[in-house]
Chains A and B, each alone.
Chain A
Amino acid sequence: MHINLNAIDFRHGKTDTRVFENTSYRIDGPGFNALFGPSGVGKTTLAKIIAGKADHNSRFSGSIDKEGISVILYTYNLERLPNWYSIEEHFRAVCPASAKKLLNELTEISGLKPVINSRFSRLSLGQQNRANLIRYLIQDFDVLIMDESLANVDEITKQKIILKIKSAFPDKIFLYISHNVVEVAKFCKEILVIRRPERLPQIKKVSGFDFAGEREPGQGRLEHIMLEIMNAS
């Protein structure tokens, strides 16, 4: 299973701003990876290109080869659930029969049980993001791109959710977009540091600690990864 980006060129339609120029990269095998970089550098754009949801008005060239991948889902933190149902009713409406057990576990781990009968607008921002992420996790997918999907979630709950994702989906690819250098260094297998088009290569790979719950990373090791990420960005 891999995603191969070949010579990607991308310019925004309205502003004609160059975002990617002749950028190539290969994401190999399953794992929890990160897209990292300063705001406006093109993380969301790259995520949308991979998901096949790039803006139609933009200029795009290059190709994306996928092997062993049929469904790529992209979720972002501004998504909302319609307010006509409670969270539980929404989950029930979109949950495949085979994912009911997983849904229960995810609801429990993400701390949504106490508010499961509330409507979306009544939840806090962090709870809204968790509810949105869960409904994606119970779908059938090969790649899930999480664009700041765990924003506004406290560190302990965030760790529980990421560890659950890693244990429940060992054969899927995750692309996690976050501005938090500590969490990408700690939890991700590969960190794809995206840089401005002037800096080549535009995507630079840093290996993360890929913490899966067994052995906490030492302070020195984590600092070293973080330094590598900051140097690369």
Chain B
Amino acid sequence: MLHKRIYQFLIIYFLGLSALFIVKYSLELSDYVIPSPAEVWSAARQYFFSFFINSVNTLCVAILGHMISICLATAVAIIGSKTNWIGSFIKIGAYNIQAYPIVAVAPIIFILFGDGLSSRLLITAMICYFPLLLSFIGVFSEPVAHIEHFYNSTGQMTWWLPIKIRLFENISKLITVISGSATVAMVGTIVAEFIAADAGIGYRIRIALYQSDLAKILVALFLIGICTSLYLFVLEYSGTRIKKKLDIPAEGSQ
């Protein structure tokens, strides 16, 4: 699973890099616009380690922000699924807020919190939160009639049981949604670092951008891709293990 993800990323990355060099040499662009392969290699050798540390820093913030948004979305979706009017209110609110680009709010967070970990974390969590909330509300609000019928009919339904049933029945869907939002978390963190950070790979890219140093940016992109692939692998692997442990049948078999 991991090597497939890494191979896929490497193929895409080197195809993109090749396309860049083809453009450079076919249009005879200067090294200032698009650096030569030798220059990229030199930047890689020089900055790989420090950029790697920065990428790991970004990854840690992305994971933390992602986890915060998952916990928050779960809690709010459970509350929303329990009361009709609260559920409708949250759903409509989440739809409207999700339609608004959260990144546009990031400068306000920067003004209020300054640059640093709290701003990065908050922007990351906000970017992840609303898409997750919509999916979670959908899952927790939709009764699984064929299972819940017995408990409703016999008066054995508890407060927690419908949540457990819906969670269990939709575990594959939830794992897919969480894995999918991992990329959003990484994007959110990097965007936050562009705006409001003094660390992380997004911050390094911003500095490289000011220096118009595309070689450094290409090295940073490589490390971002590797880190994202690693995180996605961990989530997908954990999801597979959870499904196996819970004996969840393959999707579409029921």
**A interface vs B, CB < 8 Å?**
51, 73-76, 78-84, 94, 119, 121-122, 132, 135-136, 139
- Assuming the A-B contacts A94-B156, A121-B253, A121-B254, are A83 and B150 also in contact, with contact meaning beta carbons closer than 8 angstroms in the complex? no
- Contact, CB under 8 Å: A82 / B168: yes
- Assuming the A-B contacts A73-B154, A74-B153, A121-B254, are A83 and B249 also in contact, with contact meaning beta carbons closer than 8 angstroms in the complex? yes
- Contact, CB under 8 Å: A121 / B146: no
Which residue of chain A is the closest to B144 with respect to CB atoms?
Answer: A80
- Contact, CB under 8 Å: A82 / B165: yes
- Contact, CB under 8 Å: B147 / A81: yes
- Residue pairs across A and B with Cβ atoms less than 8 A apart, 12 shown, are A51-B153, A73-B153, A79-B146, A79-B150, A80-B147, A82-B147, A82-B164, A83-B247, A94-B150, A121-B247, A132-B150, A136-B154
Interface residues of B in 130-180 (CB under 8 A from A): 146-147, 149-150, 153-154, 156, 164-165, 168-169
- Contact, CB under 8 Å: B254 / A139: no
Chain B's nearest CB lies how many Å from the CB of A177? 15
Residues of chain A contacted by B169 (CB below 8 angstroms) = 82
Interface residues on B, range: 10 to 19
Residues of chain B contacted by A94 (CB below 8 angstroms) = 150, 154, 156
Q: Does B246 contact A (CB under 8 A)?
A: yes
**B interface vs A, CB < 8 Å?**
146-147, 149-150, 153-154, 156, 164-165, 168-169, 246-249, 253-254
Which residue of chain B is the closest to A77 with respect to CB atoms?
Answer: B146
Chain A's nearest CB lies how many Å from the CB of B164? 8
Compute how far the CA of A119 lies from the CA of B146 in the bound complex, rounded to whole angstroms.
16
Which residue of chain B is the closest to A132 with respect to CB atoms?
Answer: B150
- Contact, CB under 8 Å: B147 / A79: yes
Compute how far the CA of A119 lies from the CA of B245 in the bound complex, rounded to whole angstroms.
12
Residues of chain A contacted by B149 (CB below 8 angstroms) = 75-76, 79
Chain A's nearest CB lies how many Å from the CB of B241? 16
- The 8 A-B residue pairs with the shortest CB-CB distance, nearest first, are A121-B249, A80-B146, A139-B154, A80-B147, A78-B146, A79-B146, A119-B247, A73-B153
Residues of chain A contacted by B154 (CB below 8 angstroms) = 73, 94, 136, 139
Chain B's nearest CB lies how many Å from the CB of A78? 5
Compute how far the CA of A132 lies from the CA of B156 in the bound complex, rounded to whole angstroms.
15
Compute how far the CA of A84 lies from the CA of B149 in the bound complex, rounded to whole angstroms.
17
Compute how far the CA of A122 lies from the CA of B254 in the bound complex, rounded to whole angstroms.
11
Which residue of chain A is the closest to B149 with respect to CB atoms?
Answer: A79
Residues of chain B contacted by A81 (CB below 8 angstroms) = 147, 150
Compute how far the CA of A81 lies from the CA of B149 in the bound complex, rounded to whole angstroms.
10
Compute how far the CA of A80 lies from the CA of B254 in the bound complex, rounded to whole angstroms.
10
Residues of chain B contacted by A135 (CB below 8 angstroms) = 150
Residues of chain B contacted by A51 (CB below 8 angstroms) = 153
Compute how far the CA of A26 lies from the CA of B225 in the bound complex, rounded to whole angstroms.
72
